Chain A
Amino acid sequence: MENVGYFAPSDVGQALELLAEQGSKATVLAGGTDLVPAINYYSLWPENLIFIGALGLDYIKEEGGKLLIGSGATWTQILEDPLVAEKAPALAQAARQGGSVATRNAGTVGGNLANASPAADLTVILLALEAEVLLKSSAGKRTVALKDFFTGPGETVMNDDELLMEVQIPLPAGSAAFQKLGRRKAMTLSVVNAGVKLNLDGDTCSGACIALGAMAPTPLRCSAAEEMLVGKKLDAALIAECAAAAVAAGSPIDDQRASAWYRTKAGTAIVARALAQAAGIGG
C-alpha cells in the first residue's frame, strides 16, 4: 500500500495506452466519491491509480439528435446545465437529489455508471432515458446500451482496458420523471429509486420505459410493466397496476437501509409517483 502508482494522463490517447499496458493492475479514478470511501474503510488499494480528471471529458452538448455528456461531467454540472434542463429535465431532477453539494461537485456521471451500484440515482434515470455509453480502448470503441451494461453489483461489461467516455441520450427524451426514496431527505443513498420515460400521443401512451433501482443486483428495466401501458390512456388504476408489475420484476434484499418487504411496498409507490409525474397526472 506504500507503493501505489499514480498516473495523471493529459489526453485520452495516453490514458488508453496506460490502461492497455496495465489492464487489471490499474484503477481509474474520477471524482473519487465511490472509490475513496471504500479505500479509506477497507484499505483496498489498487496497484495503480489512473486519474482521468484532466482529459477534458466534462462536456455537455447536443449533437446528431442526442444529448452527449462526457463521463467526467459532475452532478453539479448536470443539475446546473441549461441544455440538460431543456432536453432532459428529469436527469437534472435526479442530480439535484444525490448526496450533498460537496459530493456533487466531485462525483461524475461516469463514476456513477461504472461503479454499478444497483441503487445509483443518475444511473436509474439514464436507464429509463435509454441512454448508451461510449466505451473506448486503445484497440477501438463501442457503444453499449445501458440496459446491457450492468452485469451485477459493481460489475459491468466494461473490460479492464476500456474507459467510459460519454453518455448518449437519444432526443427527444419523452416525458420523463425520477423519484427516489431515501432514509432522510438529503445525503442519503436510495432505499429504492425509479426513472420513467413516456412517449405520449395526446394522452395515449405510445411507448414507455420504466427503470427501477435498489430492487435487484443491477438496475432493472421492467419490460412487462412497460408493455402494459402501450396504447393506453394512463389513469390512477392503470398506474397502480403497472407499478405493481414493475416491482414484481425485482428481487429485493434486506440490508442496512431497508427490508425487502419495505422495498416492495415503497417501490410500488415510487414507480406510481414517477409514472403520474411523467404523465402529468396530479398525485
Chain B
Amino acid sequence: MKSILSFSLNGAPVEVLVKTTDTLLDVLRESLGYTGAKRGCDAGDCGACTVIVDGLAIRACLAIALTMSGKEVVTIEGLGKQGDLHPLQKAFHQHGAHQCGFCTSGMIVSAKTLLDKIPNPSQDEIVEYMSGNICRCGTYVEVAEAIQAVSGGKE
C-alpha cells in the first residue's frame, strides 16, 4: 500500500509517496536523496541515523515513515551547509572529532539536541547524553571537546 506522506523537512513542506513498510530513514535516503543520516545497524543501536523530530532526537531507522505525518523533521542537512556550517559542524572539524566520518552526522544532530536542552553541559552530561551514538573509530574524546567548545554559544 502506498500513501502520500506530508511533513516538514528542514523547514520546508514535503510530500512524498511512501509504502507502509518504509522507515523515515528509507524515505530520507532513497526517496528524497537526503543521505546525511546513515544506515548503520538498522536496529536503533548505533545512532548514525539520528534525526530531530519535533525538537527531539530519534532514530530514523526505527520510525515508520507514515508516523511522521505533520511532524517537523530536521536532518544534518538542515543544520548547516557548505560555506555556512553550524557551529557544531565547525567545532567537529576543528577538533578532529571524526575519523571515517560515518557516525559524525548522527553525533552532530544528537549534540545539537543536547545543547538545545542543556546549553552548558558538564563533561558527565555530555558523556551520558551522547552514549547512544557509537563511534567505531573511537573519537569520543574529541567529540566531547567539540561539544564543550560550542556549549554556551562560545563559538
Chain A positions within 8 Å of B, measured between CB atoms, are 1-6, 8, 29, 31-33, 36-37, 39-41, 45, 49, 51, 53, 76, 99-103, 105-106, 185-187
Contact = CB atoms under 8 A, between A and B. Distances in A.
B66 A105 contact: no
A106 B67 CA distance: 11
Interface in B27-45: 42-45
A37 B42 contact: yes
Contacts of B67: 8, 29, 32, 51, 53
A3 to B, nearest CB: 6
B82 interface: no
B108 interface: no
A233 to B, nearest CB: 36
14 contacts: A5-B1, A5-B20, A6-B3, A32-B63, A33-B44, A39-B21, A41-B43, A102-B47, A102-B132, A105-B56, A105-B58, A185-B131, A186-B128, A186-B132
Interface in B41-76: 42-45, 47, 50, 56-59, 61-64, 66-67, 69
- Categorize the interface residue count of chain B: 20 to 34
From A29, A53, A103, name the one whose CB has the most chain B CB atoms within 10 angstroms.
A103
B58 A37 contact: no
Interface of B: 1, 3, 19-21, 23, 42-45, 47, 50, 56-59, 61-64, 66-67, 69, 110, 113, 128-129, 131-134
B109 to A, nearest CB: 9
Contacts of B42: 37, 40-41
Contacts of B21: 1-2, 4, 39, 45
A214 to B, nearest CB: 18
B45 to A, nearest CB: 7
Given A2-B1, A103-B44, A187-B134, 7 more contacts: A1-B21, A33-B44, A36-B63, A99-B132, A100-B131, A100-B132, A187-B131
Contacts of B61: 36, 40
A6 B1 contact: yes
A102 B3 contact: no
Contact of B57 (A36, A49, A105): A105
Contacts of A1: 21
Contacts of A102: 44, 47, 50, 57-59, 110, 132
Given A2-B21, A102-B59, A185-B131, A29 B113 contact: no
A182 to B, nearest CB: 11
Given A32-B67, A187-B132, A37 B110 contact: no
Contacts of B66: 6, 8, 51
A164 B19 CA distance: 27
Contact of A33 (B23, B62, B134): B62
Nearest to B3: A6
Contacts of B57: 101-102, 105
Contacts of B20: 4-6, 49
Given A102-B57, A105-B56, A36 B131 contact: no
A146 B132 CA distance: 30
Contacts of A2: 1, 19, 21
Given A29-B67, A185-B131, A186-B131, A100 B1 contact: no
Contacts of B47: 100, 102
A106 B63 contact: yes
A83 B22 CA distance: 37
A269 B143 CA distance: 35
B132 A32 contact: no
A140 to B, nearest CB: 28
Nearest to A38: B43
A106 B64 contact: no
Nearest to A184: B131
Minimum-distance CB pairs A-B, first 3: A100-B132, A186-B131, A4-B20
B1 A4 contact: yes
A8 B69 contact: yes
